[in-house]
């Protein structure tokens, strides 16, 4: 047998291996949306591949066929290549002295095996794998016919090996699952999104929206609520004019109403309801037999949620009940705070301010490089930005964290070290901290620019 024939058969076997490798990687990497678009344009092969991807059992059959093809071509290549190349070298080895012939034969066998393995890995594995991953749909369509015939040809072996593996798994107490029917958990999706951002596929804003939406399930009502000391509420027996004056000096459009105290909220009133009530009082003729229009008659029912309820469920509850405001109750049934739709949206899209939000921003990077943080910012959010861990017992906010560490209300200008972070108190508002500031290192500054820059 000539060198040309042996080389041709070796190249053919490597090409067969490359075909199966490219076919497997391209099919499992193909995007269904692209295949669906091709199928709509009349590409029948794309339609077949799309149906394959939608049926995990059929996809496993194709993968099994590819793996069988790769294994068989590799075995045949090793057996045929080594035996026939050694045979071609036989005239030369026969001329060597018998004492050295065995050593030469062994050295040649090892060299041939290493050469064939290198060619197989390079041209039969790595190159076709990268082609399949870089051009998945195109490669899958080009190799589809060969894959389809292989599934038919190897069907008995596929049935035998798949059946044997499932039987062994059951004997070991494991449940067989479809190899490629993997469902990603939310945490895995977050990692995929962050990898896509690092690879330049997703923009910063898109990444933040996706990650924040998925992370919402980790938050609770207590974590996202406006605490009771920042709520604007009023007794239900106040006059319409008083309530309008109160709302005019606040950033809110809905006002919770209570009896006795804020722990006994009975409803809320919208500023439009108050304006309508005020207008009707001004324009309606007075009639002694008709009871005067009251704030209580314009009051709307309010819904309550426990502070431990996940924020994701709070959003679902508010959508179902068609509510833009809910009151959060603590473990004793008292008012812990309130949540608006805007609060939940800000957890997803980040804090946004309208023309009525005149207060300081939650976080502000000053020209001198110091980060100013509002006291009501969640301590966990600051820790996440700084990539540090705070030892928190009961505090939820930065203000609570500082007071918890000091055991008292600090003075303006006072500094405190919490772990590796040094916070300086910049503003005090009555019995709580208004704002603190801290110095960012280079990595923290880059993280700030990535999120808020």
pLDDT tens figures, 173-182: 766 555 555 5
Q: Is the pLDDT of residue 36 over 90?
A: no
From 252-266, 295-309, 368-382, the region with the lowest mean pLDDT: 368-382
> 108 with 46, same domain?
yes
Asked whether 327 and 340 are in contact (CB, 8 A), the reply is no
pLDDT reported for residue 31 = 82
From 137-141, 188-192, 402-406, 438-442, the region with the lowest mean pLDDT: 188-192
pLDDT reported for residue 334 = 92
Percent of the chain with pLDDT over 90: 19
Tokens of 203: 């923009």
> 193 with 138, same domain?
no
- How many domains, in total, are found in the chain? 4
Please report which confidence band the pLDDT of residue 184 belongs to, taking 50, 70 and 90 as the band edges.
Answer: low
Asked whether 369 and 432 are in contact (CB, 8 A), the reply is no
Q: Is the pLDDT of residue 80 over 60?
A: yes
Last residue within a domain, chosen from 114, 140, 171: 171
Q: What sign does the CA torsion over 402, 406, 409, 412 have?
A: negative
pLDDT reported for residue 306 = 95
Last residue within a domain, chosen from 137, 171, 205: 171
Angstrom CA distances, 94 to 2, 22, 104, 106, stand at 18, 42, 10, 14
| Pairing, β 363-365 against β 254-258 | unpaired
> 9 with 140, same domain?
yes
Q: Is residue 194 part of a domain?
A: yes
* φ/ψ of residue 213, rounded to 5: -65, -40
Most confident of the ranges 103-107, 219-223, 354-358: 219-223
151 or 288, which is more confident?
A: 151
pLDDT reported for residue 290 = 47
> 376 with 422, same domain?
yes
Q: Is residue 356 part of a domain?
A: no
Q: Is residue 270 part of a domain?
A: yes
Burial of residue 358 (number of CB atoms within 10 Å: 0-12, 13-18, 19+): exposed
* Widest distance between CA atoms in the chain: 132
Q: Is the pLDDT of residue 86 over 70?
A: yes
> 369 with 326, same domain?
no
Tokens of 129: 């794998």
379-386 vs 398-406: helix axis angle to the nearest 10? 90
Q: What is the average per-residue pLDDT within 151-166? A: 83
Please report which confidence band the pLDDT of residue 359 belongs to, taking 50, 70 and 90 as the band edges.
Answer: low
Q: What is the average per-residue pLDDT within 282-290? A: 60
> 201 with 234, same domain?
no
177 or 389, which is more confident?
A: 389
* Mean pLDDT of the residues in the chain: 83
Burial of residue 377 (number of CB atoms within 10 Å: 0-12, 13-18, 19+): buried
203 or 290, which is more confident?
A: 203
> 225 with 294, same domain?
yes
Q: Is residue 121 part of a domain?
A: yes
> 338 with 391, same domain?
no
Q: pLDDT per residue over 401-430, tens digit each?
A: 888 888 888 888 888 888 788 889 988 887
Q: Is the pLDDT of residue 289 over 50?
A: no
* CATH assignment of the domain containing 319: 3.10.580.10
Tokens of 380: 């966990």
> 238 with 330, same domain?
yes
Residue 110's closest CA among 88, 73, 85?
85
> 231 with 202, same domain?
no
* φ/ψ of residue 58, rounded to 5: -70, -35
3-29 vs 127-134: helix axis angle to the nearest 10? 30
| Pairing, β 370-374 against β 363-365 | antiparallel
Q: Which residues contact 310 (CB under 8 A, 6 or more apart)?
A: 217, 218, 219, 220, 221
Report how far residue 438's alpha carbon sits from residue 343's, in angstroms, rounded to the nearest whole number. 26
Please report which confidence band the pLDDT of residue 206 belongs to, taking 50, 70 and 90 as the band edges.
Answer: confident
Q: Is residue 63 part of a domain?
A: yes
Residue 400's closest CA among 384, 420, 423?
423
* 143: containing domain: 3-171
> 307 with 230, same domain?
yes
Burial of residue 336 (number of CB atoms within 10 Å: 0-12, 13-18, 19+): buried
Q: Is residue 421 part of a domain?
A: yes
Helices marked H in 136-185: 136-153, 155-171
> 210 with 65, same domain?
no
Tokens of 76: 């045949």
């Amino acid at each position: 047998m000539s060198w040309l024939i042996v080389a041709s058969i070796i190249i053919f076997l490597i090409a067969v291996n490359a075909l199966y490798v490219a076919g497997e990687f391209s099919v499992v990497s193909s995007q269904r949306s692209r295949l669906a678009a091709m199928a709509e344009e009349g590409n029948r092969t794309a339609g077949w591949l799309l149906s394959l991807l939608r049926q995990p059992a059929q996809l496993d059959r194709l993968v099994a066929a590819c793996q069988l093809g790769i294994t068989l071509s590799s075995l045949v290549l090793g057996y045929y290549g080594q035996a026939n190349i050694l045979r071609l070298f036989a005239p030369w080895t026969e001329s060597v002295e018998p004492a050295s012939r065995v050593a030469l034969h062994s050295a040649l066998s090892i060299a041939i095996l290493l050469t064939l393995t290198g060619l197989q890995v390079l041209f039969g594995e790595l190159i076709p794998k990268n082609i399949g991953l870089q051009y998945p749909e195109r490669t899958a369509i080009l190799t589809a016919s060969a894959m389809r015939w292989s599934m038919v040809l190897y069907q008995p072996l596929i049935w035998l090996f798949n059946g044997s593996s499932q039987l062994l798994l059951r004997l070991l107490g494991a449940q067989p699952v479809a190899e490629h029917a993997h469902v990603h958990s939310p945490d895995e999706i977050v990692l995929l999104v962050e990898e896509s951002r690092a690879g330049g596929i997703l923009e910063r804003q898109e990444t933040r929206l996706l990650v924040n939406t998925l992370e919402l399930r980790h938050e609770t009502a207590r974590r996202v609520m406006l605490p009771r000391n920042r709520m604007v509420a009023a007794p239900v027996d106040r006059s319409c004019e008083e309530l309008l004056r109160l709302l005019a000096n606040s950033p809110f459009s809905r006002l919770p109403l209570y009896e006795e105290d804020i722990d006994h909220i009975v409803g809320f009133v919208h500023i439009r309801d108050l304006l309508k009530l005020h207008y009707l009082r001004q324009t309606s003729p007075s009639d002694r037999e008709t009871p005067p229009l009251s704030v209580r008659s314009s009051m709307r029912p309010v819904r309550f949620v426990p502070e431990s309820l996940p924020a994701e469920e709070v959003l679902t509850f508010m959508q179902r009940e068609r509510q833009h405001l809910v009151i959060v109750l603590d473990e004793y049934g008292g008012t812990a705070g309130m949540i608006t739709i805007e609060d939940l949206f800000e957890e997803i899209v980040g804090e946004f301010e309208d023309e009525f939000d005149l207060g300081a921003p939650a976080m502000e990077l000053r020209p001198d490089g110091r980060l100013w943080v509002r006291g009501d910012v969640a301590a966990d959010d600051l820790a996440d930005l700084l990539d540090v861990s705070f030892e928190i017992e009961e505090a939820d906010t930065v203000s609570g964290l500082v007071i918890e560490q000091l055991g008292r209300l600090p003075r303006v200008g006072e500094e405190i070290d919490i772990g590796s972070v040094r916070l300086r108190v910049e503003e005090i508002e009555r019995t709580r901290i208004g704002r603190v500031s801290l110095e960012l290192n280079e990595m923290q500054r880059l993280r700030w620019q990535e999120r808020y820059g």
